[in-house]
Structure 1
Amino acid sequence: MNARMLLPVLALLLAACAGPDRIVLLPDSDGKVGKLNVSNAGGETLLDSAYATASAKGDRKADAGRTDAGTVNQQFGVVLAALPPAPVSYTLYFTSDTDELTADSRALAPAILAKIAKFPAAEVVVIGHTDTQGSDDYNDKLSLDRARAVKRQLIALGFDAARISVAGRGKRELMIVTKDDVAEPRNRRAEVLVR
């Protein structure tokens, strides 16, 4: 599961000294859910649907069960409300050989960046990328320039510069895998991760 898929799954583990360990698999805000394998000396129990539960005590295999949103909210609402907001990510695209956003991304950027700027305590990581045209050194520099361009826009909106880190990945982490010297617009991007 990659970093983007970590958020759709929230496993809530609450253990009491005298009682069994209880795990509840919660859906993300879009209703999507991943899978969780609960394993101990007694065996494995797979949770793969929203509100699936596993309860285990000692070395016995975990008992599978189900609960619902109302029960989870009633029992664990205080804990869930105390959790920090789930990380979010956005992708902005750039024109070839520049750190200038495409027209579509230029149109979306103000709303995205304003949304991010409303979370002054958040940490933001901006990762720039390129397509496979050009040398490794050129693409490393261009990808970092793209990340820095997004950082400047966030700072202009009032976001604390100390809470923004940038990185350039050049052509090492392609969204669309291509051979060298291929102009693939979807690879010319910056990923903005807010956590």
Structure 2
Amino acid sequence: MRPWRNVLFVWIVLCFLSGCGAHRAKRDLIVLLPDSDGKGGVITVTTQGGSQILDKPGYAVEIEDLNKPPIAPQPLEEKEITDVFGSALSMLPDPASRFTLIILYFERDTTNLTHESKDLLAEVLRTIKSRKSNEVYVVGHTDLVGKEDYNARLSSRRANYVRDLLVSSGIKRNTLFVTFYGKARPLVPTQDEVPEPRNRRVEVIVR
């Protein structure tokens, strides 16, 4: 499983009103933009009729009817993105003022980091120190296996474990803000009792 490094994504929703075309009254367009490294995050676009995963920078999902699934992701040319979203893009903050998100993954039902995520700890520390951040959020999550109260406790232990690792490496405790969501906010939506490894995670958000 590839670790996510410096995941930074921007998504924009544009509603075209009835004057935009005779064949449709309204549509929503969601596009995933790349960060400075050309990478992006993951967006799950959901309607009452279904969902689509948007995980490729420069791709867009269109919603024509909230009672139907979103249309499958399609690539947009850079010029088309600029033409459609130019005014919104011009209002984005400078890259230096955005946040950096690094995701650390865990072995199933434990507070043990995966081997790949252990290697990412050094990058987390470098990011915090290079940005001279006084605002770092450490957010714990689990997969959807087990009861809600158990997973809430497990996600809390994971978040506090990462917080303690950062403190032991020289990061000031009062700059670290811990929260946890159990299985309430999966990165990859699944049915209950599915042990999806990408949901067993702690997100470190460096502002």
TM-score range, shorter chain: 0.5 to 0.7
Q: Which residue of 2 aligns with 1:48?
A: 81
Given the two structures, how large is their TM-score scaled by the length of structure 1?
0.60
Residues 120 and 160 in structure 1, CA contact (< 8 A), matched pair in contact too: no
Of 172, 184, 189, 1:160 maps to 172
Please say which of residues 185-194 and 117-126 is displaced more in the overlay. 117-126
Tell me the SS of whatever aligns to 1:186.
Answer: helix
Cα deviations across residues 9-49 of structure 1 (Å, max 9, x unaligned)?
Answer: 8xxxxxxxxxxxxxxxxx85346789xxxxxxxxxxxx932
Alignment root-mean-square deviation, CA: 3.2
Cα distance, 1:120 vs structure 2 = 3.4
Question: Is residue 128 of structure 2 the alignment partner of residue 116 of structure 1?
Answer: yes
**Which consecutive residues of structure 1, in runs of 5 or more, have no partner in the other structure?**
10-26, 35-46, 55-71, 73-78
Residues 113 and 153 in structure 1, CA contact (< 8 A), matched pair in contact too: no
Q: Aligned equivalents of 1:29 and 1:126: distance in 2?
A: 23
Q: Which residue of 1 aligns with 2:206?
A: 194
**Which consecutive residues of structure 2, in runs of 5 or more, have no partner in the other structure?**
1-6, 13-33, 39-56, 60-79
Given the two structures, how large is their TM-score scaled by the length of structure 2?
0.56
Cα distance, 1:5 vs structure 2 = 3.0
Q: Which residue of 2 aligns with 1:29?
A: 36
Larger of the two Rg values belongs to structure: 1
What residue identity is the alignment partner of 1:145? R
Change (3 A) 1:103 1:30: closer
Residues 137 and 206 in structure 2, CA contact (< 8 A), matched pair in contact too: yes
Tell me the SS of whatever aligns to 2:131.
Answer: coil
Percent identity reads: 36
Change (3 A) 1:53 1:133: closer
Tell me the SS of whatever aligns to 1:145.
Answer: helix
What residue identity is the alignment partner of 2:193? D
